Structure formats: C-alpha cells, structure tokens
Amino acid sequence: MSRQDRIAEAIRQEVSLIIHDKLKDPRLGFVTIIRVEITNDLRLAKVFYSVLGKEEDHKKTKQALDSALGYLRSLVAKRLNLRLATELLFMEDRSTEFSVRIEEVLREIKEKNEPEKNS
C-alpha cells in the first residue's frame, strides 16, 4: 500500500468519525463514507459518500457537509498531522442505491416467473 493510499484511508476513517461524533447538524442524514481518492500531491481529496433516504435527505446532507467543510478539513489535518490541510471535495456515490434497486427488480422478476414454473 502506497503512502497515498494510506493517507486516503486515514482521511476516510477520520472524516467518518468526525461526521458521526462531532457534527450535530440536523440536516445530516445517515451518511456512510465509502472511499477517498487523493491526488498525488495530497492537496485534494475526493470524499465519496452515500446517504440512505429520500431525495430531500440527499440534498440536506450535501448542504450540511458543504457547510462543515472548513471544520472537517482543519480537524482532519490536525488529527493526521498533515503539513498542508488537504482540500476536501464531497461527492455523492449512488452506486449502493442502484445495486439495491437492481436487487429489487431481479427479485420481482424471479417472483413473477416462479408461479409459471409450478403450473
């Protein structure tokens, strides 16, 4: 594992802990930090997250994360002893949501086809 990968994983863990333990914003939904992609120079980290809930929950969570950006950035830099505070960019990852929907569709298809087999 490269230094870049270790720092990305450390940022993922710290951002997740800070969101769940320190942020008290009522707009925050049930957020999961999925992964972090960081540039070679460690100046920018794309933080991918997912949210459970309706479309409104997704929007409110994005607003809450964006408003806490400076706080999160400084806390992450302190906790990880980074010389430069890495810029954080939050990006929603809806792949989990899509996979759940695919599972539902496949289950529906299976249920529709099973009665035909028993006939």
What's the confidence (pLDDT) of residue 33? 94
Nearest to 24 by CA among 58, 80, 71, 86: 71
Between CA 16 and CA 33 the distance in angstroms is 6
pLDDT over 90 (residue 82) = no
Between CA 4 and CA 110 the distance in angstroms is 44
Mean pLDDT of 92-108: 82
pLDDT, tens only, 8-67: 999 999 999 999 999 988 888 889 999 999 999 999 999 999 988 888 988 999 999 999
pTM over 0.95: no
pLDDT over 90 (residue 6) = yes
- Domains annotated for the chain, with CATH where assigned, are 3-94 (3.30.300.20)
